Structure 1
Amino acid sequence: VYNGEIYNFPELTRELQKKGHPFRSRSDTEVLLHLYEEEGENLVYRLNGIFAFALWDQRRRRLFLARDRFGAKPLYYTLSNGRLIFASEIKALLAVKGVEPRVSLEALNEYFTFQNLFSDLTLFEGVRILEPGHLLTVEDGKITLKRYWDPLFQDRGWSDEEAVERLRTVFEQAVRRQLVSDVPLGSYLSGGMDSASLVAVASRSIPRLMTFTGGFDLSSVSGLELAFDERKDAELAASTFKTEHYEMVLHAGDLAWSLPRVIWHLEDLRVGMCYQNYYIARLASRFVKVVLSGVGGDELFGGYPWRYKVIQECRDQAEFDQRYYRSWTRLIPDEEKPSFFTPEVWAVVKDHHPFEAYRQVVEKARGLDPLTRALYFEAKTFLHGLLVVEDKLSMAHSLEARVPFLDDELVEASLTIPSRLKIQNGEGKVILRKAMRGLLPEPILKKKKQGFSPPDASWYRGESLEYVKKILLDPKTLERGYFQPASIRRIVEEHLSGRVNHRLLIWSLLCFEWWNRIFLEGLDKEGFA
C-alpha cells in the first residue's frame, strides 16, 4: 500500500531490470516491491522522493511501514484489540470498530504551547503519527520503531564560490527531476525567493508554465500587515518568466466558510494559519494536477533570521534551551497554563511538560553551533508541520504538491554548507540568494522574508469579529471543560482592544472548537457553516 512519488524510479527500474527483475508496469509503486526483494528494509536509503508505504512480507510474516525523510506524506497508526491499524488519514482509523475519537490532553497541552506537535502524538488519544525518516516493523507480535535518516550537518569547508556553484547545480537538477509528469503541472508563486527560484528553472522546460498566487484584501488592514499581500512581487516574477499567471484574493469573510472544511481535511492541528493554503490549492486544482511548492527553502537555508537573534550569544546549552524553548512558545507560556486550562485538565497535563518534547528533538543536535542546532530543530519540527498542512490541504483538491527543496541531493548539499554562509549580519538565506543571482530579478533577491499569511490580526478586530465571538463565546464552546471561560473571554477582549495581538491563539482556539464539533460530536459536511 503506497502513497507518494519516487523521482529516481526510472534509474532504479533500469538497475533492477539488469539484475533480472521483470516489470509489468512503468509505475514507481512496482519499483518498491522489486527493490525490497533486493535490499529488504534498506530500500529506503535508495528512494529519492516523498512517500508513505506499507509492505507485507508473506514469507517472513512481517509488516514493514516507512515514511519519507521529512514527512511530506502522512502515516498514522493505532493499536486496537491487539491489532495494528494504519492509514494516511485518521478518519480511516476512526472508521474501524473499536477506535473511538477522544482528545489527547497531553497533545492538547503540547499544541497550545507550540502551535504544533513536536512528538509523535496527535490530538486523538491513542493515534500516533509515524515520525519522518522512520520505519515501523511488526514481526512475531512485536512492534519496532527505527529511525533510518536524520539531518547530518557536515561542513565540507566550501568557499563561497564553491558553495554557490554546487548549490545552483543541484538545485536546477532537483527541480528538473520533479518536472516529470503525465498530467498538467504548475507552480505556486508567492513573490518570494523560494517559489520564484522554482519558477525560474521550471519555466525553461515548460513554456507558459502555469503559476498561482494568493493575495489579501487590505482595505481594512493597518500596520505591518499591509505588507502581507505579495501579488505585485509575484506579478514581476510571472512577467519575467513569461508564465500563465493566475491570482485569487482572500477576504475576511472567507474564513467562516473554509475553516470547518480545513479542519475536516487537516484532522490533526499543526502550524500556523492555513486556510489560505486551502484556497490557493483550490485555485491551482482548476488548472493542474501537480504543483511545485517552495516549502523547505527557509528551514534548510536559514530563512527565519529573527528567530536566531535570541540564541547567537548563548554561553552554554542550558541558556540556549531556555531562550530557544521560550521563542517557540507561540501560544500559552507555561506559567499561564494553570489559569488557561480548567483545573481538571491542568491536573492531568501538569506533569507532562512540553519542554520534554522540545528536549527530545534538540538533544540530537548537541555539539553543533547554536545556528546549526536551530536549523536542525526547525527541519525536525516546524518543517514537518508545514508539510502535513501542505499535503492535506492540496490533496483535499486532488492536487499533488511537490517540494523540490527537499530533493535528497539538494538536502545533502545544503547540509554540507555551514551556517556562517547561510546567515550573516542578521540576514538569512545568504548563500541561496547568491546562488540564485542571475536567475531572479534583483527586487526579488533583495526582498525580505514574508510568510503567506492572512492579515487576521486586523480582520479579527473588524470584519471577522462577529464570527470570532459567535464561535469562541458560544456557551457550548465555553463549557467544553478544557479552558477556563474567563480566560477565553479575556483573550478575545484583549485582542479586540488592541492591547495584545492574539491572532495565533484565536486561530488555534477556533480550530480546536471545530475539531471538537467535527470529530467528537460527529458534525458532517452538511452541517458546516
Structure 2
Amino acid sequence: MCGLTACIALQQQLHGPLANGAPTNGHVETNGYANANGQSSTDGNPKTNGDVRSSVDTLETEIDNSLEIIKHRGPDARGVWVSPDRRVGLGHVRLSIIDLSPLGNQPFHNTQDDVHAVVNGELYNYTEHKAQLANEYEFQGNSDCEIVLALYKHYGLSFLQHLRGEFALVLYDAKRNVLIAARDRYGVKSLYYTVQNGRLLISTEMKSFLAYGWKPEWNVQSLRENGWRFDSRTFFKDVYKILPGHYLVSKQFSDLHQKVYWDIDYPDKVKVDTRSEEEIVLGLRERLLDAVRLRLHADVPVGVYLSGGLDSSGLAGMAAHLIKEEGAKFGNDASGDQKRLKCFSVQFDKDSGADESEIAQRTADWLSVDFIPVHMDEAAIAANFEATAWNSEAANPDANGTGRLALSKHVHNEGIKVVLTGEGADENFAGYSLFAADTLMEADPAWPASVLSDSEREEAFRSACQKLDVFRFGEVPKNVAPSTKRMLANTNISPTLCTHTPLPFAPWTDKFAVNDQETTIAESFNGRVLHDMQNKWHPLHTAEYIWSKTIFTNLILRYLGDNVDMVDHVESRTAYLDNRVSEYANQIPPSLKMRYDPATKTLREKHVLREALKPFITEEIYSRRKHPYMGPIRYSADGPFYQLIKRLVTRENVEQLGFIDWSRVDGLAEKAFVDHEHLAYLTVLSVAQFVVFSQRFGVKRADAEV
C-alpha cells in the first residue's frame, strides 16, 4: 500500500479531450511521459520544440513535496527516481505490508535498469508468478508488488490481466519509451491525471498535484451533468480519473490513450443455467474462502471491520473458520487462535437509530473473536467531517464516512495495518432493494426453477417501482431523450442515481447542462456495453453494471474506502471484489441473487450469498434483512454537528464557490437540524463538503465567464 504520482514533459501542444474539458474515455493526444507510484514529475522551461524538462534537483523537490502531501499513505519509506534525461520522475511513499525490509521499497527497477515502476496496493497471486518467472527474472526482494516488472517483461502490455488484487500503478519502459498507468478492476484504488503547464501528472490523490503548481478550478459542466460521478471527469477542470479496469498508455512521449483491459460482463439472459442451486452455492463458497485466505496473508497484523450486516459478518466468519479449521495465519499471527482476531465496529449512540454494535457483538461472541467497538457520538462525527471530505476527495450527502475514519484511527492505535472489509457484496449479489424493480422488470429464463408466474412478477414489479421513491433524494431528470432510455434498456436505476448529491445550482450554470444526467451515464459506456444492455443482459445485471461503474467506484469506494482508511495508515482489503469471485458471481442467474417469494410478496436480497455464507454466520445474520451501513441522520438542534454546518455553510463561503445559489441554501441548516427535513439535510451536507474542497484545495471561484 502506498501513494503515487507522475509527471511528463510534453513535446507538443496538447489537443483533444484534455484541452477542452470533455470526458476522456478514448484517445487523447499528448507528448511526454509520466512517473509512477507516489509522485513523479518533469519540469522546466519549454524548449523550442515544445519539450518541457527540469533539472534533477527541481524535479526531485517537486516529487518530494507532492509525496509530503500524501505521506499518510506511506509512513514507512519514501523513494524518488528521476530518469537521466529528466523526462520522467517516479515517487513513492510506502506502507510496508509484505516484505518489511528495504528490498520492498520503491520505485522498483529491473537489473537491466530499463523498466521502472511504482505500485500502490496488494497483489495476492505473486507467489505463483514468482515461481513461474524465477528462471527469467531476477527478483530483488520478496515484495508482492515487484511482480509487476517481471510480468511486464514476460507478457508485455497484457500483464495487467494477470494481476489479482487491488492496485494502482505506473510503469515506465525506458528502452521502448512506453508509459503505462493502470487501475484495478473495480477502482478500489484511485488514480488521477491532468496536464498542467505542459506536463502530464499522475497521482493517487488529486491534492498531490498542488505541489506541481496546479491551480484548481471548478469544472461547472461536470458538476451540472454529474460527470464527476458518472464518467472519467472530476469536479475540477482538466483533472480526470483513470477508469477502473483501464490503463493509460503513451508511446514515444505522445498519443496518450486510455484503454480497457478488463470489464464486467454477464451471460445472455435467455441461456439456461444447467447447474443446481447447491452446485452454484458450493462454487461460490469455495471462491469466497480462497479470496479471504489470500487476504489474511501479510507480514503485519490483520483485523476485520464488523458491522451488523451479512457482508462483514461473513468475512469475520470465514476468517475465523480458516484460522480454526485450517490453522491459517492472519497476518503475522500463526497461533491458530481465532480469539486473537480483532474485529472493529462503529458504535453510534443507542438512541441514534443507526447503531448495530449489539448485533455485531453477538456475532463476535458466536465466532469467539475479539470485539472492539469504536464509539461515535455527535461530537466525533462533527470532528471528523471535514477530514473525511478532504481525504476522500468525494462528496457524499451523509456523515457515514466519519465513522470509517474513526475506525481506521482506532485500528492504527491497536497496531494493525490491514483490515478485511465488505465492499462489493451488494454490487455483485444484488444487495440493495434499489435493484428490486430491475430484477422484476423481466422474467429470468436463465433459471427455469423459479416458480414466479408472469402475473406475480408484474404485480411485484409495480410495487417495487413505487418503492423507488425511498431512494430518491430529489426530482428525477425530466425530458430525458427516448434514445437515452433505450441505451440504458429502460432500467429503473439510472433516474434514481441522478438524484444523488443534490446541489442548488446558480441559474447561470444552466448553459453548462449540455447533457441531462441520464445521458451522461449512457454515454460513459462503450458500444459493446450499450449493445449488451439492450440485447443480452437481464435488467438486474444492467442495473448492477450501472451502479458499479458510477456511484460505487466514484463515491462509495472513495468516501467509505481506501482514501479514508489510508489517512491512518490502514490498508483495506475487499474480498468480495476479488476478480475470481466477481466473475463467478456475474454468471449467477438473477433469480438466485434476489429471490422473490410470491406467498409473502417479499424479496430476499443476496439469496445465493446468504446460502454460501450460512456455515459462517449466526441465524440472526442469516435471516436479517439488508440494513445498509448508515450514520445517524437526526441530530440535536444546537449540537456540534449543526454548529459545524453553520460555520461551513455561510453566505461568504457559498458565494465563494460561485456555482451554488445562496438564496436556495439560506435556511437549509435550520430545516435540516431543527425541522429535520431530509432533503434539506442531504443538500446542506453536500454544499458543506464542497465548501471544504474549496477551502482545502484553494479553488478559484466559478463565475459566468468560465
Q: TM > 0.5 between the two?
A: yes
The secondary structure found in structure 2 opposite 1:187 is: strand
The partner residue of 1:4 within 93, 118, 121 is 121
Matched, 1:285 2:412: yes
Matched, 1:210 2:342: yes
1:366 alignment partner in structure 2: 534
Matched, 1:504 2:682: yes
CA drift at 1:282? 1.1
Residues 124-156 of structure 1, C-alpha deviations (whole Å, 9 max, x = no match): 211111000001111131101111111111274
Distance 1:280 1:146, change over 3 A: same
Counterparts in 2 of 1:108-257, with a 5 A limit?
108-111=223-226, 117-140=229-252, 141-154=254-267, 156-204=273-321, 205=323, 206=330, 207=338, 208-219=340-351, 221=352, 226=353, 228-257=354-383
Matched, 1:381 2:573: no
Counterparts in 2 of 1:101-112, with a 5 A limit?
101-111=216-226
Distance 1:388 1:479, change over 3 A: closer
Query: What is the one-letter code of the residue matched to 2:583?
Result: E
Partners of 1:311 and 1:324 within 8 A in 2: no
Distance 1:83 1:471, change over 3 A: closer
The secondary structure found in structure 2 opposite 1:77 is: strand
CA drift at 1:465? 2.9
2:583 alignment partner in structure 1: 412
The partner residue of 1:401 within 572, 581, 585 is 572
Matched, 1:346 2:478: no
CA drift at 1:186? 0.2
Partners of 1:291 and 1:402 within 8 A in 2: yes
Partners of 2:216 and 2:699 within 8 A in 1: no
Partners of 1:191 and 1:444 within 8 A in 2: yes
1:424 alignment partner in structure 2: 595
Residues 303-361 of structure 1, C-alpha deviations (whole Å, 9 max, x = no match): 0024432673379954954743221133477xxx8xx32233233x2224322321135
Partners of 1:252 and 1:463 within 8 A in 2: yes
The partner residue of 2:440 within 297, 308, 312 is 312
Distance 1:269 1:468, change over 3 A: closer
Matched, 1:276 2:410: no
Query: How far apart, CA to CA, are the structure 2 residues paired with 1:520 and 1:42?
Result: 40
Query: What is the one-letter code of the residue matched to 1:45?
Result: Q
Matched, 1:91 2:207: yes
Query: What is the one-letter code of the residue matched to 1:438?
Result: P
CA drift at 1:271? 7.3
Query: What is the one-letter code of the residue matched to 2:348?
Result: F
CA drift at 1:279? 0.9
Query: What is the one-letter code of the residue matched to 1:360?
Result: E
Q: 5+ residue gaps in structure 2?
A: 1-117, 324-329, 331-337, 443-457, 459-481, 597-602, 701-706
Partners of 1:4 and 1:50 within 8 A in 2: yes
The secondary structure found in structure 2 opposite 1:457 is: coil
Query: How far apart, CA to CA, are the structure 2 residues paired with 1:254 and 1:400?
Result: 22
CA drift at 1:231? 0.6
Query: What is the one-letter code of the residue matched to 2:245?
Result: G
Distance 1:399 1:428, change over 3 A: same
Partners of 2:195 and 2:238 within 8 A in 1: yes
CA drift at 1:211? 0.4
Aligned-residue sequence identity (percent) comes to: 28
1:300 alignment partner in structure 2: 428
CA drift at 1:457? 3.5
2:78 alignment partner in structure 1: none
Partners of 1:299 and 1:375 within 8 A in 2: yes
Query: How far apart, CA to CA, are the structure 1 residues paired with 2:398 and 2:678?
Result: 18
Query: What is the one-letter code of the residue matched to 1:81?
Result: N
The secondary structure found in structure 2 opposite 1:438 is: helix
Query: How far apart, CA to CA, are the structure 1 residues paired with 2:284 and 2:607?
Result: 12
Distance 1:55 1:480, change over 3 A: closer
Query: How far apart, CA to CA, are the structure 1 residues paired with 2:225 and 2:121?
Result: 29
Residues 428-464 of structure 1, C-alpha deviations (whole Å, 9 max, x = no match): 1000111112221110111121222211234578663
Residues 273-321 of structure 1, C-alpha deviations (whole Å, 9 max, x = no match): 4111111111112221000000001100000024432673379954954
Q: 5+ residue gaps in structure 1?
A: 523-529
Query: What is the one-letter code of the residue matched to 2:542?
Result: R
Partners of 2:181 and 2:248 within 8 A in 1: yes
The secondary structure found in structure 1 opposite 2:179 is: strand
Distance 1:73 1:479, change over 3 A: closer
Distance 1:460 1:32, change over 3 A: farther
2:695 alignment partner in structure 1: 517
Give the structure with higher Rg (CA).
Answer: 2
Query: What is the one-letter code of the residue matched to 1:5?
Result: E
The secondary structure found in structure 2 opposite 1:514 is: helix
1:357 alignment partner in structure 2: 520
Query: What is the one-letter code of the residue matched to 1:298?
Result: D
Residues 383-406 of structure 1, C-alpha deviations (whole Å, 9 max, x = no match): 213222301000000000000111
Query: What is the one-letter code of the residue matched to 2:409?
Result: R
1:486 alignment partner in structure 2: 663
The secondary structure found in structure 2 opposite 1:291 is: strand
CA drift at 1:499? 4.8
Residues 69-95 of structure 1, C-alpha deviations (whole Å, 9 max, x = no match): 001111111112332111112122121
Partners of 2:405 and 2:564 within 8 A in 1: yes
The more displaced of 19-28 and 128-137 is 19-28
Query: What is the one-letter code of the residue matched to 2:279?
Result: E
Decide which structure has greater helix share.
Answer: 1
How many aligned residue pairs are there?
505
Query: How far apart, CA to CA, are the structure 1 residues paired with 2:360 and 2:136?
Result: 49
Query: What is the one-letter code of the residue matched to 2:421?
Result: S
Distance 1:191 1:200, change over 3 A: same
Residues 19-52 of structure 1, C-alpha deviations (whole Å, 9 max, x = no match): 4322221112221111111101101111111111
Query: How far apart, CA to CA, are the structure 1 residues paired with 2:299 and 2:656?
Result: 52
Residues 351-379 of structure 1, C-alpha deviations (whole Å, 9 max, x = no match): 24322321135653332111111111122
CA drift at 1:479? 5.5
Query: How far apart, CA to CA, are the structure 2 residues paired with 1:473 and 1:310?
Result: 41
CA drift at 1:471? 2.2
Query: How far apart, CA to CA, are the structure 2 residues paired with 1:463 and 1:266?
Result: 22
Partners of 1:8 and 1:47 within 8 A in 2: yes
The more displaced of 244-253 and 268-277 is 268-277
Partners of 1:457 and 1:501 within 8 A in 2: no
Distance 1:491 1:307, change over 3 A: farther
Query: How far apart, CA to CA, are the structure 1 residues paired with 2:576 and 2:250?
Result: 33
Partners of 2:382 and 2:640 within 8 A in 1: no
The secondary structure found in structure 1 opposite 2:243 is: coil
The more displaced of 53-62 and 272-281 is 272-281
Distance 1:378 1:516, change over 3 A: same
Matched, 1:69 2:185: yes
Root-mean-square deviation over aligned CA pairs:
2.4
Distance 1:161 1:271, change over 3 A: farther
